[in-house]
Amino acid sequence: MEKDKVRVLGEFFFSQIRGKPIHDSDGRLVGRIRDLAVRWERETPEVTGIKYAKGVQLHIPIDQLDQITRAGVKLIGKLQEEKLSPLQPNELYMGKWLMDKQIIDLKGTKVVRVNDIKIFWLQSGPRQYMVPVAVDIGLRGLARRLGVEFLFKRLENQFVWWEFIQHLEDKTASLRLRKDKAQLDQLHPADLADIIEDLDYRKRSDFIEDLDVETMAEAVGEMEPDTQLEILEHLESRQAAELLQEMPPDEAADLLGELPEEKSDEILGLMEPEEAREVRELMEYEEGTAGALMTPEFIALPPNITVAETFPRLRKLAAEAETIYYLYILDEAEGLVGVISLRELIMAEPEARLDSLMQTRVVSVHPQDSEDRVTELIKKYDLLAIPVVDEDNRMLGIITVDDVLEMLVPDRTGLETFTSFFTSKRAMK
């Protein structure tokens, strides 16, 4: 048996019919379209009724409609109060719960808002029904709601079709695009950070739950300090500890230093002992010093191994290092005796020992040196990182160029400072 064909009887936007009159078959005004009740149990929602009056938590069932246009609604007969139905647990109101929802536009790596909803009035056999088919996230949709669409006629509507939107788990949840998890995993941490910063704090928690802790740590590292702290403050202490353990120790120390001491101590107590010890040590350095900028995550190698023996070690050490461009050569007392660039290592003969390749004149700073001193040396010698040593030349950590840039350009918008500070490319040669 051939299925009934679906005919489109009309199409309109929610903003175009909201507030429009509802008349019965005799032409009497019985109310206005205050909202549309929607049941969303399948992939596509379906409108089940019309909320017709303020303060009345009942709606007119959709099967009582004779026609609906942009001018309003006409009922099949008279308004029958005994057939009015309250909002069911599996229903929601379109205007209240769907309009103005945030959607993550993964293509543009930004957060957008539902400005309007496109609706079709359909007929299949004798049955007439209404379904939302797309959300409008564009400027024209916003102008339509404000009644000034005529000013933006030349603009294209920007739709997200309903087939790409995930089902709402509850009425307060954000709308999400289907298959966004795999796409999220492909985004750069800076793009993820931009998305999370654009979400309000209630939506952030839902979004963050979809990210693994490693991805979240990378994204948090790209955020503005205020957002970092806001996220940390809304996490449970154990969640915060897991997150901070995945971040570079210097960044974790900076964040914990901004929290109340009691909260900071609680989180440190939940971290792995070794990670907590590193962070505590970094927190002891005075702000504005090299020690406060450094990270203890660097690659240290002994001088008496060959190039061939070095590469297996690098594969194990690289995952935990802040940078692998410089390989620091330490003696048995952890004293800094030399440095080799990754480029030099790759070009060397496999049987060559590291002590025959290393540069023994190493530019370094002490933990109490000022940030200005660090900046001066990195700029002068075109370094990607500079080691931090104590009075006995024992290596404590490194300061990378991005740490210095973050200090100089904390809001990541002053690119002129960046170009004037680090224009030479000799460090990469």
Among all chains, which residue has been given the structure tokens 């950590």?
Answer: 397
Q: Return the domain boundaries, the chain.
A: 1-172, 179-284, 293-428
Query: Residues 124-131: contacts with CB within 8 Å, 24+ apart?
Result: 124/4, 124/5, 124/6, 124/7, 125/4, 128/9, 128/62, 128/63, 128/65, 129/46, 129/47, 129/62, 130/36, 130/46, 130/47, 130/62, 130/68, 131/44, 131/45, 131/46, 131/47, 131/162
**Contact yes or no for 14/97 (Cβ under 8 A):** no
Q: What is the pLDDT along the chain (429 residues), one digit of tens a residue?
A: 455 688 899 999 999 999 999 999 999 999 999 999 999 876 678 999 999 988 777 899 999 999 899 999 999 989 888 889 898 888 888 998 888 887 766 555 567 788 999 999 998 888 888 999 989 988 999 999 888 888 888 888 888 888 777 655 555 555 655 555 556 666 677 777 877 777 766 667 667 776 788 888 888 888 888 888 888 888 889 999 999 999 989 889 999 998 989 999 999 999 999 999 999 999 999 989 999 999 999 999 999 999 999 999 999 888 788 888 999 999 999 999 999 999 999 999 999 999 999 999 999 999 999 999 999 999 999 999 999 999 999 999 999 988 888 776 655 444 444 444 444 444 444
pLDDT in tens, 244-266: 999 989 889 999 998 989 999 99
Query: What is each CA distance from 266 to 2, 126, 217, 242, in whole angstroms?
Result: 67, 65, 19, 13
**Contact yes or no for 258/225 (Cβ under 8 A):** yes
Q: What region does 72 belong to: left with phi over 0, alpha with psi -120 to 50, or beta?
A: left
pLDDT in tens, 70-94: 999 999 989 888 889 898 888 888 9
pTM surpassing 0.75?
no
Distance between the two ends of the chain, CA-based, in angstroms? Answer: 74
pLDDT on residue 417: 45
pLDDT on residue 106: 55
Helix (H) or strand (E) holding 205: helix 201-209
How is residue 16 written in tokens? 């175009």
Distance CA 283, CA 164 (A): 46
What fold does the segment set 293-428 form as a domain? CBS-domain (3.10.580)
What fold does the segment set 179-284 form as a domain? MgtE N-terminal fold (1.25.60)
